[in-house]
């Protein structure tokens, strides 16, 4: 294979899944000279099963998609506090994988001509440069979120007046309360080796050869142009929304996530019995777990609203984390009181099929980027309740710039009272909402981008540029 691309996701489902969706898109370009290797740890290997099973039916396909399984770091003897956990995980991955990856490169008969790696893995920029191959950042966040990230780490921003942080150079000159800035940055301390590793990684992202976004031009054109200006080149590609195979019309469903208390078939059968646009879907993503106070107000609001709903509940022992360290449980009598109009899913929900079902009209979300894109592509009204990371940036995009959303809560600072939440839930299902009109427009723009539009063109251009770089190196 001439164009061999190594993909290296950060090993959590929310980062692995969109990169696998990118791999799926690449392999369906039908280029016989393109091969993809995905680096994965043993505990996440099951996420590749659909690709491996489809490849096994064809010898040519099996050559085009291969896993590279490297071990997971050993759990630390003493658990790291939450404020240091990401930095410790990144360091552990680098220390363990760097020598293994080096040996794999050196021994491979046809080593990769490009490395696409997650933005948490900025250390791979130096690794790729030392081997003379371009490193491409994969951003599972949008261009707005990464623009804020770049400005923070490059300039080491701190609050100005009234504990607000201003971004004067960004489009629309956004401002955020200090508490809405990602925690990993707020915890940054000059001279702390692990925190310095995060900053070095962010600078490595800025200096990398290219960036691929899970976004599309019609969604974030101003911020994509800003990123191009910041990095000083045009090797910035928006190829999203990256959706699972069953949602984009391609053959072969892609398994996602983990175990669930309710099968996808049961969920869709339940939705089939509901009128069009009558259901609110509530999910806080693969990591966030509401605190008990948040869960109590949410459950009471759902009951008081009288609306039909699906509530996806993550469980703390599945890797979630609550902002205040306590884990919210659904009240014992909640399901009994909601019988007939509410469905509770414990574990993973088949989110994309749910959002695309005709019965679902509104999505109450933590505003993680995967959920944001899935909601936008489905044309649902978005009720925003960001919990952390870049989710406050995404909520601002949805509400203030795109006009497809309504604010509900903000982490643990602004928890809606049950009565107010009930009012908003009922209002958000109205068919004549201006946000619903805008949501349908954004859904059309998303599908147009991936069906022959800007995202499809960017994907092809990305492969073309990688191939040109490879050929230039050969003839140098």
Which residue of the set 4, 21, 118, 458 is catalytic?
Answer: 118
Q: In degrees to the nearest 10, what's the CA dihedral of 311, 220, 137, 11?
A: 0
d(CA 34, CA 26) in angstroms, rounded, equals 8
> What is the C-alpha to C-alpha distance for residues 358 and 274, in angstroms, rounded to an integer?
9
Q: Catalytic pick from 15, 24, 97, 357? A: 15
Catalytic residue list contains 333: no
Tokens representing 44 are 């996440």
15 catalytic per annotation: yes
Q: How far apart are CA 278 and CA 266, in angstroms?
A: 18
Active site (catalytic) residues:
15, 118
């Amino acid at each position: 294979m001439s164009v061999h691309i190594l993909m290296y996701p950060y090993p959590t489902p929310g980062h692995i899944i969109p990169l696998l969706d990118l791999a799926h898109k690449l392999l369906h370009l039908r280029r016989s000279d393109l091969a993809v290797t995905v680096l994965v740890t043993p505990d996440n290997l099951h996420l590749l099963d659909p690709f491996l099973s489809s490849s096994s039916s064809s010898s040519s396909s099996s050559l085009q998609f291969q896993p590279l399984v490297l071990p997971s770091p050993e759990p630390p003897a003493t658990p790291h506090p939450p404020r240091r956990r990401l930095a410790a995980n990144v360091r552990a991955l680098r220390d363990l994988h760097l020598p293994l990856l080096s040996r794999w490169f050196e021994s491979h008969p046809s080593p990769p001509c490009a490395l696409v790696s997650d933005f948490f893995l900025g250390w791979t920029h130096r690794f790729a440069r030392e081997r003379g191959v371009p490193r491409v950042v994969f951003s599972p966040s949008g261009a707005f979120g990464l623009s804020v990230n770049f400005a923070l780490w490059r300039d080491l921003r701190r609050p100005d007046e009234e504990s607000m942080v201003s971004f004067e150079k960004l489009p629309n000159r956004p401002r955020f309360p200090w508490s809405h800035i990602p925690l990993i940055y707020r915890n940054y301390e000059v001279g702390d080796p692990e925190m310095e590793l995060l900053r070095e990684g962010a600078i490595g992202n800025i200096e990398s050869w290219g960036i691929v976004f899970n976004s599309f031009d019609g969604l974030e054109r101003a911020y994509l142009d800003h990123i191009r200006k910041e990095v000083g080149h045009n090797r910035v590609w928006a190829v999203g929304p990256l959706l699972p195979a069953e949602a984009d019309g391609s053959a072969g469903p892609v398994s996602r996530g983990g175990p669930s208390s309710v099968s996808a078939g049961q969920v869709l059968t339940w939705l089939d019995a509901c009128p069009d646009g009558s259901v609110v879907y509530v999910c806080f993503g693969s990591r966030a777990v509401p605190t008990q106070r948040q869960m109590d107000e949410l459950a009471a609001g759902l009951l008081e609203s009288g609306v039909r709903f699906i509530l996806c509940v993550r469980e703390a022992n599945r890797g979630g984390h609550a902002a205040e360290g306590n884990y919210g449980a659904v009240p014992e009598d909640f399901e009994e009181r909601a019988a007939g109009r509410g469905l509770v899913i414990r574990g993973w929900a088949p989110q994309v099929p749910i959002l695309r079902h005709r019965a679902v009209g509104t999505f109450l979300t933590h505003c993680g980027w995967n959920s944001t894109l899935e909601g936008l592509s489905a044309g649902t009204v978005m009720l925003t309740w960001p919990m952390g990371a870049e989710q406050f940036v995404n909520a601002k995009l949805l509400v203030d710039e795109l006009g497809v959303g309504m604010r509900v809560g903000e982490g643990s600072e602004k928890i809606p009272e049950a009565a107010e939440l009930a009012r908003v839930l009922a209002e958000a299902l109205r068919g004549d909402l201006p946000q619903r009109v805008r949501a349908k427009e954004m859904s059309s723009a998303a599908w147009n981008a991936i069906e022959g539009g800007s995202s499809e063109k960017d994907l092809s251009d990305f492969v073309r540029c990688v191939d040109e770089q490879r050929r230039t190196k050969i003839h140098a």
